[in-house]
Chains A and B, each alone.
Chain A
Amino acid sequence: MKRTYLIFTLSILVLCSCLLTVGINAQNQPANLGEIHGNFQMDMQYYNPDSSIKAPVVPEKTGMNAFLNLNYTRDNFSAGMRYESYLSALQGFDPRYTGSGILYRFISYTTQKLQITVGSFYEQFGNGLILRTYEDRGLGYDNALEGIRIKFNPRKGVYLKGIYGTQRTFMTYGPGTVRGLDAEVNLNEFFSALADKRTNIILGSGFVSKYQPDAGTGTYIVPLNVGAWSERINIHRGKVNFQCEYAYKINDPSAANDFIYKPGEALFATASYSQKGLGISLSGKRIDNMDFRSDRNATINNLEINYLPCLTRQQTYSMLNFYPDATQPTGEIGYEAEVTYKIKKGTLLGGEYGTNLLVNFSTVSGLDTMQLKPAQDSSRMGYKNRSYFGFGQKYFEDFNIEIDKKFSPNFKLIAIYASQVYNKAVIQGEPGTPMIYSQIGVTDLVYKISDTLSIRFELEHLYTREDMGSWMSGLVEFTIAPKMFVAASDQWNYGNSISADRIHYYNGTLGYIWGTNRIQLSYGKQRAGIYCVGGVCRTVPASNGLTLTVISSF
């Protein structure tokens, strides 16, 4: 198996070389050599032992994650690969990321109507409810498919996609096969009679099936093939947009759902209205037993086929992200509302430059269910829904207001207030821990001293009586545009009920940037916490040490 992958990678290299050589040798005329571009990132950390913050002991003293992407394009042809190194993986990344290798490589050919990709690829059907493969290197998330993808546009307004492959799991590939088809039709493009209509309608439909053999050693008889389908619609008219997707999955007993045979469902809808200066959006979702993986024994974030987006605001500042929401694929229901408004220039509240306001509210709860007793549950459905749209136990809630104001050409302010509720017992899987209620305030001030010098202050406060108590956080950043920045920050757990744990997590950072290159060095303590992107999270242990980051793209 491994040998096949190596040979495939090698073939890509040789093919690219040949194409380049052909180009270089065709002298005396502007030969089309194609282009090679790429990017590189390395994060290396040296770990100091520090028992005061409960930092784990790292016997190898250092960790290093690095990757280099190389993309070659020539006319309709493209090929690429990524070399990755985890020697050993940074603390907080799954230790199954180990060693070095080329796990991502592809060849692709594109014409107006057809695109064929062989090798690794990332794909998404609709909102991702039945299929989304993607990567987030900062999260250590990569569920790329390895196989074949064909995209075909047979006529105007019709978009077809087919995929067939196995999924990446850390430094290898999973045991299951994933197959899928997706069709999207833009009615206004398809029917010429609708071309000039103000209302635009797009319909989409997808089907994904996974196959995994069963050794027959488990307790249950499991389906070897599991299918999931989804239907979606997007309606747009003037200032209004509405989109909705419903997905269904047949019974799929797995480690993630405790081997129950209940079918899965997901519903996701967003409506929005916007005009110049005003935007309103309202979204809702309901997820019921929709964990979908290409390995029925996989857990945490491993080998997921689909993506169930969080419907809560993705926060930017550290105290607002202290207790972040994460989707519970086994079941949850929630909604989110957001209003953005720009107060015009020259008005009393708008001032000379106008003022931006944002108000956001989101809430997520468990489903309203009833556990079935094993004696009454011969078909092992696990639970029953008491009411379809009923709200059960609260998982997460966030109400926040943001004001964004420019006072003068040199002085800008962002101020945020938030009130959050966090069910640690469910979201972090620690039964018995109490609900965490927090109030957070953030101010971000930027003052431009001259054309090249600017200073930024970030002051944050998190108030809570639960968990570790209240926190204060401050940051000063000095930028010498365009090349250098220096920052110092401290997060202080002053409200901890145990006085020995009232720790300062100080940090200093120095960065140098030129063009698309950046070198950054930071030293200090990092608190244990959760690092999330898009509702997918990883827990990061506490650490104390020196971090070197090198980023380049070419």
Chain B
Amino acid sequence: MKKFIVLSFLFLAVQAGFAQQKLQKIPAVDLKTMDGKAFNTRSIANDGKPIIISFWATWCGPCKKELNGIAENFDVWVKQTGVKLYAVSIDDTRNSGKVAPYVNGQGWDYTVLLDENSDFKRALNVNNVPHTFVLNANGEIVWQNNNYTEGSEAKLLEILKKVAKGEKIE
């Protein structure tokens, strides 16, 4: 029985190879906004312009460095690429009440969502935070990265400019 399961698993994985050619769409998951309203990820949209989805937490040092780094020039990024940033906090109820004061305290111009039970994190197969996704005009994931290094904002801007022009991302 167990062997059969493993074989089926392999069979599925091979088939997945075919399915893989398609770009990933965002799965529909129920989240919350900072003021407690229900928000379904189906509503993630930006009128055909690029979207960043960045998973973070109030206890994650590199996440805050990354989002603060982007915040410094975010107004310029918006002008250049029309980008919209969804900062998805995976803080659970221990910290989710502190997200809004932190975000406003930092002055971030992002759309902040609460993923208190990590449902969206699981649906997008995120292992650790930070994990950042870039979506194209069709809402498909064209680039992702799961660590932060000093100065990686430059690379992200480069990707966004390409996406805004409709160019393909390697």
Which A residues are closer than 8 A to B by beta carbons? 3, 6, 9-10, 13-14, 16-17, 20-21, 23-24, 33-39, 41, 69-71, 73, 78, 83, 102, 110, 122-124, 127-128, 132, 134-135, 151, 159, 184, 186, 189, 200, 202, 234, 236, 239, 241, 243, 268, 270, 272-281, 283, 307, 309-311, 314-317, 338-342, 353, 356, 358, 404, 412, 414, 444, 446, 448, 451-452, 454, 456, 479, 481-482, 485, 513, 515-516, 518, 534-535, 551, 553-554
- Name the segment of B22-30, B46-54, B81-89 touching the other chain: B22-30
List, in ascending order, chain A residues with CB within 8 A of B25's CB: 35, 73
A-B contact pairs, 10 of them (CB 8 A): A33-B22, A110-B28, A200-B36, A241-B35, A274-B105, A279-B103, A281-B101, A310-B94, A311-B94, A482-B149
Contact of B155 among A38, A78, A134, A482 (CB under 8 A): A482
- Assess the A13–B5 pair: CB atoms within 8 A: yes
Interface residues of B in 111-125 (CB under 8 A from A): 116-119, 122-125
List, in ascending order, chain B residues with CB within 8 A of A9's CB: 5
List, in ascending order, chain A residues with CB within 8 A of B72's CB: 353
List, in ascending order, chain B residues with CB within 8 A of A339's CB: 101, 105
- Least CB distance, A269 to chain B, in whole angstroms: 9
- Least CB distance, A509 to chain B, in whole angstroms: 13
Q: From known contacts A200-B37, A551-B127, infer whether A451 and B8 are also in contact, taking CB-CB under 8 Å.
A: no
Contact of B127 among A37, A39, A186, A315 (CB under 8 A): A39
List, in ascending order, chain B residues with CB within 8 A of A414's CB: 61
Cβ-closest chain B residue relative to A111: B28
- Least CB distance, A552 to chain B, in whole angstroms: 8
- Assess the A314–B95 pair: CB atoms within 8 A: yes
Cβ-closest chain A residue relative to B9: A13
- Assess the A128–B106 pair: CB atoms within 8 A: no
Q: Which 7 A-B pairs have the closest CB atoms?
A: A279-B101, A340-B105, A279-B105, A274-B104, A270-B97, A36-B16, A454-B150
Q: From known contacts A17-B8, A128-B92, A338-B98, infer whether A277 and B146 are also in contact, taking CB-CB under 8 Å.
A: no
- Chain A CB within 10 A, most for which of B24, B101, B146, B149: B101
- Assess the B24–A309 pair: CB atoms within 8 A: no
How far, in angstroms, from A39 to B59 measured CA to CA in the complex?
Answer: 23
How does the 8 Å CB contact mask read for B54-91 relative to A, with 1 for contact and 0 for none? 00001111000100100010000000000000000000
- Chain A CB within 10 A, most for which of B2, B27, B34: B27
- Assess the B19–A451 pair: CB atoms within 8 A: no
Contact of B38 among A10, A186, A342, A535 (CB under 8 A): A186
Which B residues are closer than 8 A to A by beta carbons? 1-2, 4-5, 8-9, 11-13, 15-16, 18-20, 22, 24-25, 27-28, 30, 34-38, 58-61, 65, 68, 72, 92-95, 97-98, 100-107, 116-119, 122-128, 131, 144-147, 149-152, 154-155
How far, in angstroms, from A239 to B103 measured CA to CA in the complex?
Answer: 12
How far, in angstroms, from A341 to B106 measured CA to CA in the complex?
Answer: 7
How far, in angstroms, from A243 to B126 measured CA to CA in the complex?
Answer: 29
- Chain B CB within 10 A, most for which of A270, A414, A452: A270
> Contacts A186-B37, A482-B149 given; 13 further ones with Cβ under 8 A?
A20-B18, A34-B19, A36-B16, A37-B124, A71-B123, A132-B117, A200-B37, A202-B37, A274-B100, A274-B103, A277-B104, A451-B154, A553-B146
List, in ascending order, chain B residues with CB within 8 A of A71's CB: 27, 123, 125
List, in ascending order, chain B residues with CB within 8 A of A36's CB: 12, 15-16, 19-20
List, in ascending order, chain B residues with CB within 8 A of A102's CB: 5
- Least CB distance, A354 to chain B, in whole angstroms: 9
How far, in angstroms, from A518 to B35 measured CA to CA in the complex?
Answer: 36
- Assess the B36–A236 pair: CB atoms within 8 A: yes
Q: From known contacts A33-B18, A277-B107, infer whether A314 and B122 are also in contact, taking CB-CB under 8 Å.
A: no
- Assess the A41–B97 pair: CB atoms within 8 A: no
- Assess the A481–B8 pair: CB atoms within 8 A: no
Does more than half of chain A's interface fall in helix, strand or loop, or is it mixed? strand
How far, in angstroms, from A256 to B118 measured CA to CA in the complex?
Answer: 27
- Least CB distance, B101 to chain A, in whole angstroms: 3
List, in ascending order, chain A residues with CB within 8 A of B8's CB: 10, 13-14, 17
Q: From known contacts A35-B22, A272-B98, infer whether A448 and B107 are also in contact, taking CB-CB under 8 Å.
A: no
- Assess the A122–B122 pair: CB atoms within 8 A: yes
- Assess the A35–B105 pair: CB atoms within 8 A: no
Cβ-closest chain A residue relative to B61: A316
- Assess the A35–B24 pair: CB atoms within 8 A: yes
How far, in angstroms, from A554 to B116 measured CA to CA in the complex?
Answer: 23
- Assess the A276–B107 pair: CB atoms within 8 A: yes
Cβ-closest chain B residue relative to A273: B101
- Assess the A24–B125 pair: CB atoms within 8 A: no
- Least CB distance, B117 to chain A, in whole angstroms: 4
How far, in angstroms, from A275 to B1 measured CA to CA in the complex?
Answer: 59
- Least CB distance, A39 to chain B, in whole angstroms: 4
Cβ-closest chain B residue relative to A517: B146
- Assess the A479–B125 pair: CB atoms within 8 A: no
- Assess the B36–A241 pair: CB atoms within 8 A: yes
Q: From known contacts A338-B98, A444-B61, infer whether A122 and B149 are also in contact, taking CB-CB under 8 Å.
A: no
Cβ-closest chain A residue relative to B107: A276
- Assess the B1–A6 pair: CB atoms within 8 A: yes
Q: From known contacts A71-B125, A534-B92, infer whether A243 and B97 are also in contact, taking CB-CB under 8 Å.
A: yes
- Least CB distance, B95 to chain A, in whole angstroms: 6
Cβ-closest chain A residue relative to B17: A36
How far, in angstroms, from A281 to B103 measured CA to CA in the complex?
Answer: 12
List, in ascending order, chain A residues with CB within 8 A of B119's CB: 122
- Assess the B97–A272 pair: CB atoms within 8 A: yes
How far, in angstroms, from A142 to B28 measured CA to CA in the complex?
Answer: 23
List, in ascending order, chain A residues with CB within 8 A of B146's CB: 513, 516, 518, 551, 553
How far, in angstroms, from A516 to B97 measured CA to CA in the complex?
Answer: 30
- Assess the B19–A481 pair: CB atoms within 8 A: no
List, in ascending order, chain A residues with CB within 8 A of B103's CB: 274, 279
List, in ascending order, chain A residues with CB within 8 A of B60's CB: 316
List, in ascending order, chain A residues with CB within 8 A of B154's CB: 451
Q: From known contacts A241-B36, A448-B150, infer whether A21 and B127 are also in contact, taking CB-CB under 8 Å.
A: no
How far, in angstroms, from A10 to B103 measured CA to CA in the complex?
Answer: 45
Contact of A309 among B30, B92, B104 (CB under 8 A): B92
How far, in angstroms, from A414 to B65 measured CA to CA in the complex?
Answer: 10
How far, in angstroms, from A79 to B130 measured CA to CA in the complex?
Answer: 26
How far, in angstroms, from A274 to B112 measured CA to CA in the complex?
Answer: 14
- Least CB distance, A185 to chain B, in whole angstroms: 11
- Least CB distance, A437 to chain B, in whole angstroms: 24
- Assess the B150–A516 pair: CB atoms within 8 A: no
